[in-house]
Structure 1
């Protein structure tokens, strides 16, 4: 693509924007968007979300890091999202490079492009966005004039499939880590040193993983023989962590989009981490320990958010908001102070065993829109295996209380393909769904609608189930058909995840750096937006695997041994690997592990290893 100025990009884009779907995805200039003078800043960064605008703008991490970087006078941060298929076509036909929303500057003009890794099925979008920007996909093909390509987020805890494309990864929470990295970039601009020397400096920052300095060798059977770190870098890169959430940066003037986004409301982060210990849940392991914000901090942030956004709904977000120890007083105070302005509160995640119908009624006073619960498994035995800590009685009590208070719509989330799952566990899903529906009918509720959603178990790194295989697609498909057949009832609605998408997700979730050529091949053959059903090209992926001689079952369907070297062994979540082994043993014994917030330490190791502790404000 030829060199083009920001003004020319803007002029050309404005000509064809009326022809594309949702033009306001691509124009910027939203309320609270920040436009800085390039010439008055030392480092220019663009925060890149590898999905459409509506998804990216709903992500709290995007909001936090965008405003955090811009809070430093010497730094500038703009935004870019993956353009939808129609917009990409226009950009390619007219040879317009991918640009940032605030200034229309081409991405190639920035010093740093920071991608967030939320979902394995968005990896192709990262490579496609680099290609659209006219930046070589492979780090080895980029020169000193190209931006540094960095990435962070939950998928960075197994970054290996992206090694070769990303210069370095930020592991953990970036509030302190990212500004430190940008200061090193500023220094590099003033006093340039060789690429490897700069990367050596960056590798000294807590939680920064530079793949160049880690070398992997393999056994004849394809398993990893060893991962060796060069001298001068840590053998295990331990995550960065924010110790005091009350002191952590939080934006109270977020960008307000012109178009409706997925989560179109104010967001208040009440806490980080979860100590429930569900054994399939990566977030529950990597975001430990639990740290809460104080009620005073949250009420002050609410006041500023209401004043700066104009939204009439505020979501109290966390992995399990109902577990926040000050939840009741915070909700009551928000409604007391802002209810008269029409501001309501929503709780995105409610646990069955901490469900409070009065609380649910308080936050849904205006409309009873439906309640969502996640039993995850159909039998108590399997709930013990996954350490869900929820009993059938909890669910039925919660459903009964909800029906009595006027709700008629309930959603139930389950997983299929969990380790040790049997036919009895599948039948348990049907049994539970019907019990909930029958309860509503018995209590005289009309228009009962119980939606049952099943996702497919994908083993994730840094969890007690990281050694487990994913169940074969054919077997999962049979289970889904069986459920579909048995859940035929006008009161029941059954949704399920696509087997093929979940299979590929498992390949990348457990993958190593030998998958990088597959990603590159897939992008060159038209794969992008793989998480979107209508765009997913399964046959193309299968063709690529065959052409490159990669066995997907080796990654997705192989049981790993405890003494296997895992692709992510050199990435540290703070949780002791031995604790994960013990939890896996306990799962197979159907033994539960207690929540360490209210009992003895379970020995996961994160608090002593990182000099941090659980912080409850209630």
Structure 2
């Protein structure tokens, strides 16, 4: 994409005539392999951090700062920014990263991931693009919870998303209404790392079902942890059309589940399967 746009692929080759290239999202949790290609990396969640960055970028540009001075000013102000060109990596003999030495003064001692404090008021895209061809994921997706209380040992997202933050049934209903009004899609998928751990999952499903079942809109959930809420899910999802139900014990034996940090009760798994079969 950079090459097609006529932008030098390597950050070191860019000049003041080139735009700043910013990276973000889960891919930058391990930023160093991509460091040569980006001017800045926003570590963590962008909903609160990105508007701050854009506003300050516009202000600094209006002050007449050149490219290098602009990068330094932004990196000094925001500790969620990683500016690869302003740091020199030092490597251990085995090829692992030993340290990042600053090339200029005043940079934060550590880069800290940005986190959204209040998911309820965080901006959410309620008017996504609607494809003009049939696609696999032809549905509205609404994040009902961020973070995970379980801390499974193998889960990268559970380690990087921070503390659990919830959206209320009322907020989710308003987002679903807005998304449906803009798209007309006939399925609403409620996503999070572990949807069945949302303490108000039953209220969310019953509220949405009452609103959207008369419109022919179905509900779906991604993979579910087996807990005491699982038995309620199949009958709350099946009022419009049958939806797949994915349960993820991860290991067959309770001992192995404890080893990987995902203990769960077999009876909850069996109860959910029985209810789905019914």
Q: Would you say 1:220 and 2:93 are equivalent positions?
A: yes
Q: Note if contact 2:213-2:240 (Cα within 8 Å) is conserved in structure 1.
A: no
Q: In structure 1, what is the equivalent of residue 78 of structure 2? A: 205
Cα-to-partner distance string for 1:545-596 (whole Å, 9 max, x where unaligned): xxxxxxxxxxxxxxxxxxxxxxxxxxxxxxxxxxxxxxxxxxxxxxxxxxxx
Q: Would you say 1:144 and 2:16 are equivalent positions?
A: yes
Q: In structure 2, what is the equivalent of residue 324 of structure 1? A: 198
Q: In structure 2, what is the equivalent of residue 390 of structure 1? A: 264
The alpha-carbon distance between structure 1 residues 152 and 354, as it changes in their structure 2 partners (threshold 3 A), is farther
Q: In structure 1, what is the equivalent of residue 122 of structure 2? A: 248
How many residues of Structure 1 are paired with residues of Structure 2 in the alignment? Answer: 276
Q: In structure 2, what is the equivalent of residue 337 of structure 1? A: 211
Q: In structure 2, what is the equivalent of residue 162 of structure 1? A: 34
Query: Larger C-alpha radius of gyration, 1 or 2?
Result: 1
Does the residue aligned with 1:180 lie in a helix, a strand or coil? Answer: helix
Q: In structure 1, what is the equivalent of residue 3 of structure 2? A: 131
Q: In structure 2, what is the equivalent of residue 191 of structure 1? A: 63
- Distance in 1 of aligned mates of 2:61 and 2:245: 52
Q: For the aligned residues, what is the CA RMSD?
A: 1.9
Cα-to-partner distance string for 1:266-290 (whole Å, 9 max, x where unaligned): 1222111101110110111111200
- Distance in 2 of aligned mates of 1:164 and 1:262: 34
- Distance in 2 of aligned mates of 1:221 and 1:351: 39
The TM-score with structure 1 as length reference comes to 0.43
Determine which structure has greater relative contact order: mean sequence separation of CA pairs < 8 Å that are 6+ residues apart, divided by chain length.
1
Structure 1: which 5+ residue stretches go unaligned? 1-128, 406-618
- Distance in 1 of aligned mates of 2:178 and 2:91: 54
1:365 is displaced (CA, Å) by 2.8
1:292 is displaced (CA, Å) by 0.5
Q: In structure 2, what is the equivalent of residue 292 of structure 1? A: 166
The TM-score with structure 2 as length reference comes to 0.91
Structure 2: which 5+ residue stretches go unaligned? none
1:138 is displaced (CA, Å) by 0.6
The alpha-carbon distance between structure 1 residues 332 and 400, as it changes in their structure 2 partners (threshold 3 A), is closer
Q: Note if contact 1:275-1:288 (Cα within 8 Å) is conserved in structure 2.
A: no
The alpha-carbon distance between structure 1 residues 371 and 296, as it changes in their structure 2 partners (threshold 3 A), is closer
The alpha-carbon distance between structure 1 residues 373 and 173, as it changes in their structure 2 partners (threshold 3 A), is same
- Distance in 2 of aligned mates of 1:222 and 1:190: 42
Q: In structure 2, what is the equivalent of residue 75 of structure 1? A: none
